[in-house]
Structure 1
Amino acid sequence: MRLLCAVGAVLALIFTASFAEARDIAKIRVGVLKFGTVNWELDAMKRAGLDEKAGVDVEIVPFAGENASAVALQAGSVDMIVSDWLWVSRMRAEGADFTFVPYSTSVGSLMIQGDSEVEDLGDLKGKTIGVAGGPLDKNWLLIQALAKKDNGLDLSAENYIVYGAPPLLAEKARQGELDAVLNFWHYAARLEAEGFRTLVSGSDAAMKLGTSGPVASIGWVFGDAFARNNEAAIAGFLAADKATKDVLASSDEAWEALKPLMKAGDEKTFVKLRDRYREGIPARSGTAEAKDTEKLYEILAKIGGEKLVGPAKTLSPGTYYDDGKNG
């Protein structure tokens, strides 16, 4: 009888400890593009168990496109997605409560062939330029503003512009059908590995137009109300995010495990993707970035108008997440 009681007591302790452990793990559903680069970080996070160490269980929910993930966030099917601060500001101006935490400063770049005679934006006059992301792409608008400021050149009016899907434009650039191509950062990195060079990046344009440093164009997006009701989940996730970035910034071994996801094709491309990702890890405070984002917003609002930014002429208050501790 004593033995049975002892066993029962031990089992009770184990059950209590397990229950407490389970209770302390907050769950958060993160919606991501099925084949997007955000999966690299989340895979590294889950592989190392950094989410559980931070007291959160991250569930990755894949989507085929950005619109689908945004709809899922608005419907409450996921708790968090990756999007840009422009979308967040516009949604807040229209009454939503979404907020933003910087994820990456890696942005699109205007790429040219390594042997191209083009040296600056002024040399592009009359040439063919491919642009991924459409006519209202932030990087495209900023680069246009820079061309007008430094070279008196209206890129969209004085050149032949080809809008298209990123992989298609990258291939056209390889085949020599484009004199320059503005593509998303990972496509630009692949082209760089093949001998292309950067004429100007979105970050270059932003800093030449007045920001004090690189601004994260995309970030983790979630609702204020969700954050208030799930403080442990948000705090845990952001801690895991930082821990994972620290690992990816310093450990080449961690990147080796990501090779199957990256589909680099060769070692040179793999290294370029890894290094450009590392360069995009935010190094400034959210407060510093928010100040620069306000400047960028005003520039973009003048160029893109209401079609781009919506009804608000300035960045909506609360666009950047404030956890009440350090802003």
Structure 2
Amino acid sequence: MMISRRATLRLAAVGAAAILASKPVAVFAAAKVRIGVLKFGTVSWELDTLKRHKLDEANRIDLEIVYFAGEDATNVALLAGAIDMIVTDWLWVSRQRSEGGDLTLVPYSTAVGAIMVKEESPIRTVADLKEKKIGVAGGPLDKSWLLVQALARRDHGVDLPAACDVVFGAPPLISEKAMQGELDAVLNFWHFCARLEANGFRRLIGADDAAKALGASGPVSALGYVFHDQWANDNPDVVRGFVKASKQAKELLARSDDEWLRLAPLIRAEGKELEKLRDRYRQGIPRRPVAEEAGDAGKLYHVLAAIGGEKLVGRAPEMAPGTFWPELAK
């Protein structure tokens, strides 16, 4: 049987289509990034925004948020390789590097704690804290507490731990005792301070003020997104994608009040308290070149090491090179 030329061409086209259809289509799968965070920590606000607006997908990553009950658990999980990233402070990263580890960080927030007193309190300067009862969250080696101590010694000749009745406790408890009037002043984490500000308290001095007075030329991120150098070297585009997604989430939170209203149930705040948390968060968005932050962190390292000693920094006399991710610190 003779087949026409047109029919032959039609059959050839069908065959070619079948062959093309049988070939796998290239699909660029998003790279998984596992980040460990505290269930009710402030980092969740940014990550919720990032996921809600699919900023991870837009930057070709698949962010998996793994919740932990405490900071120590996130540290252990990162070191064990169970997760890819956590949020913690640069001093811990530096110590790990000094002891042979390969952790590094990308700045997350410059928001830091402050000493808070009631609006009507007669305490007006750090020197006025002498013989007062101070509540401190974070323990005796908390960076904010050490920076304020250093400033008090240098500028006022006051040894706060010796001159005051200092009590340590969990952040919520410290704030509750302050509200009840059982403490003359408190040094708490930034978001607890913001809530106190919305409820009749004022800032006596912030750790950021102390840092600048002690040599920093600008805001230094207290916390950063921390990961292993090896993982970053193996997945540079993944890290860049996450950094870009994080920046986009921050930009959205910086400009949109509606986004904060959406987050209100997660933040567990409303009205004046939500506004104060929003404003303090925005002030803490890192905006300086990473190299400048790293330089100032190196200066503050010496101040902190002089007070905290080996319990804080180990035996390293300097902040470890590479503490801030070299890719961004160039």
Q: How far did residue 6 of structure 1 move?
A: 8.4
Residue 283 of structure 1 aligns with which residue?
287
Q: CA deviation digits over 1:102-161, x for unaligned, max 9?
A: 100001110000110111001111000000001111110110111111111111101100
Q: How does 1:246-325 map to 2 (within 5 A)?
A: 246-264=251-269, 266-323=270-327
Question: Does residue 180 of the first structure (1) align with residue 193 of the second (2)?
Answer: no
Q: How far did residue 8 of structure 1 move?
A: 5.0
Change (3 A) 1:229 1:123: same
Identify the match of residue 65 of structure 1 among 61, 70, 85: 70
Residue 241 of structure 1 aligns with which residue?
246
Gaps of 5+ in 2: 1-9
Change (3 A) 1:326 1:115: closer
Residue 27 of structure 2 aligns with which residue?
20
Question: Does residue 222 of the first structure (1) align with residue 227 of the second (2)?
Answer: yes
Letter in 2 for 1:227: A
Change (3 A) 1:103 1:209: same
Identify the match of residue 39 of structure 1 among 41, 44, 50: 44
Residue 198 of structure 1 aligns with which residue?
203
Change (3 A) 1:12 1:238: farther
The answer as to whether partners of 2:49 and 2:249 remain within 8 angstroms in 1 is yes
Identify the match of residue 61 of structure 2 among 41, 56, 60: 56
Separation in structure 2 between the aligned mates of residue 29 and residue 201 of structure 1, nearest angstrom:
33
Q: Secondary structure at the match of 2:64?
A: strand
TM-score, structure 2 normalization: 0.93
Q: CA deviation digits over 1:196-244, x for unaligned, max 9?
A: 0000011010001111011101000001000011112111101101111
Q: CA deviation digits over 1:243-283, x for unaligned, max 9?
A: 1111111111222221111001x311011111111110001
Q: Identity rate of aligned residues, in percent?
A: 56
Q: CA deviation digits over 1:169-202, x for unaligned, max 9?
A: 1000001000000000010000000010000011
Q: How does 1:53-132 map to 2 (within 5 A)?
A: 53-132=58-137
The answer as to whether partners of 1:100 and 1:219 remain within 8 angstroms in 2 is yes
Letter in 2 for 1:254: E
The answer as to whether partners of 2:294 and 2:329 remain within 8 angstroms in 1 is no
Q: How far did residue 12 of structure 1 move?
A: 5.4
Separation in structure 1 between the aligned mates of residue 224 and residue 322 of structure 2, nearest angstrom:
14
In the TM superposition, structure 1's runs of 4+ consecutive aligned residues that sit over 2 Å from their partners are 1-13
Separation in structure 2 between the aligned mates of residue 181 and residue 174 of structure 1, nearest angstrom:
10
The answer as to whether partners of 2:114 and 2:203 remain within 8 angstroms in 1 is yes
Letter in 1 for 2:259: A
The answer as to whether partners of 1:92 and 1:316 remain within 8 angstroms in 2 is yes
Separation in structure 2 between the aligned mates of residue 63 and residue 87 of structure 1, nearest angstrom:
18
Separation in structure 2 between the aligned mates of residue 33 and residue 11 of structure 1, nearest angstrom:
47
Letter in 1 for 2:197: E
Separation in structure 2 between the aligned mates of residue 43 and residue 130 of structure 1, nearest angstrom:
32
Q: CA deviation digits over 1:2-48, x for unaligned, max 9?
A: 697688578658x61xx4232xx211101111110100000000000
Q: How far did residue 73 of structure 1 move?
A: 0.3
Q: Secondary structure at the match of 1:28?
A: strand
Q: Secondary structure at the match of 2:27?
A: helix
Separation in structure 1 between the aligned mates of residue 266 and residue 235 of structure 2, nearest angstrom:
31
Question: Does residue 159 of the first structure (1) align with residue 171 of the second (2)?
Answer: no
Separation in structure 1 between the aligned mates of residue 165 and residue 14 of structure 2, nearest angstrom:
84
Q: How far did residue 286 of structure 1 move?
A: 0.6
TM-score, structure 1 normalization: 0.94
Separation in structure 1 between the aligned mates of residue 259 and residue 15 of structure 2, nearest angstrom:
48
Residue 4 of structure 2 aligns with which residue?
none
Separation in structure 2 between the aligned mates of residue 245 and residue 8 of structure 1, nearest angstrom:
48
Count of residue correspondences: 320
What value does the CA root-mean-square deviation take over the aligned residues?
A: 1.7
Separation in structure 2 between the aligned mates of residue 313 and residue 326 of structure 1, nearest angstrom:
21
The answer as to whether partners of 1:26 and 1:232 remain within 8 angstroms in 2 is no
Separation in structure 1 between the aligned mates of residue 111 and residue 142 of structure 2, nearest angstrom:
15
